[in-house]
Amino acid sequence: MTTENWISIIGIISGGCIGYLIKYSLDKRTLFSSKNAEIKREIYKDYVNTILKTVNEFQQQDGAPSKSQQERLIKELQNFHKKAVLYASPKVLDKFSNMLQHAYREYKDEENGLRTMVLMTAVFKEMRKDIGLSSRGLGSGGIRLLRPLINDYDKIIRQKEFLLYASTKLYLLNNKK
């Protein structure tokens, strides 16, 4: 055998090995992404269930939430945060922390509840984006995600969706400490 034949054989074998390693690496990455997506969906589903259950409870009662309701909500949000730190995208974590920072401050103005809703829907929208779903047609910041839960949505919010979203963004920028 000549040197050229050996070079050809070594080239073919090394090309096959490199191809196999690339395929193995891509398969492993795909498997990880698939498992990670399943975990994200489960975590996000738990968060959405917590928020929707809380909104439903608050709608059924008059007045402020009880201390036990507040403690339960805080505990469930902390549990979500523990899981989200490992699996959620940075944008989901950022939107979630914006919502919590807003909740920690006790604003007394009449727009507070609406701002909280805008921040909640921003978290929902970012979660949808993170798992590959479109949020097209859900309004500025995904505000229409809460439409089924608000009885007078069309009367109170529909006309000022964009203004509500923009004013919440400005409010957050002005109140970051």
pLDDT digits (tens, 9 = 90+) for 27-57: 788 777 778 888 889 999 999 888 888 878 8
Q: Locate the domains of the chain by residue range.
A: 36-175
pLDDT digits (tens, 9 = 90+) for 91-119: 999 989 888 888 777 666 666 777 777 88
The pLDDT value given to residue 121: 84
89 Cβ neighbours under 8 A, 6+ residues apart: 126, 130
Average pLDDT over residues 148-164: 69
Determine contact, residues 123/103, Cβ cutoff 8 Å: no
Residue 174: pLDDT band with limits 50, 70, 90: confident
- Cα four-point dihedral sign 135, 126, 91, 112: positive
Residue 9 per-residue DSSP state: H
* pTM score of the predicted model: 0.69
pLDDT digits (tens, 9 = 90+) for 1-18: 788 888 888 888 888 889
Average pLDDT over residues 154-174: 71
Token pair, residue 107, equals 């604003």
Token pair, residue 143, equals 């505000």
Average pLDDT over residues 66-95: 87
pLDDT digits (tens, 9 = 90+) for 57-73: 877 776 666 778 778 88
Q: What percent of the chain clears pLDDT 70, i.e. is strictly above it?
A: 82
The pLDDT value given to residue 159: 67
Residue 147 per-residue DSSP state: G
CA dist., res. 77 & res. 69, Å (int): 12
The pLDDT value given to residue 44: 92
Long-range pairs, 102-109, Cβ under 8 A, ≥24: 102/172, 105/175
Cα distances from 127 to residues 23, 37, 55, 82, 168, in angstroms, run 30, 11, 19, 16, 19
CA dist., res. 146 & res. 124, Å (int): 10
Between 139 and 7, the more confident residue is: 7
The pLDDT value given to residue 92: 92
The pLDDT value given to residue 125: 87
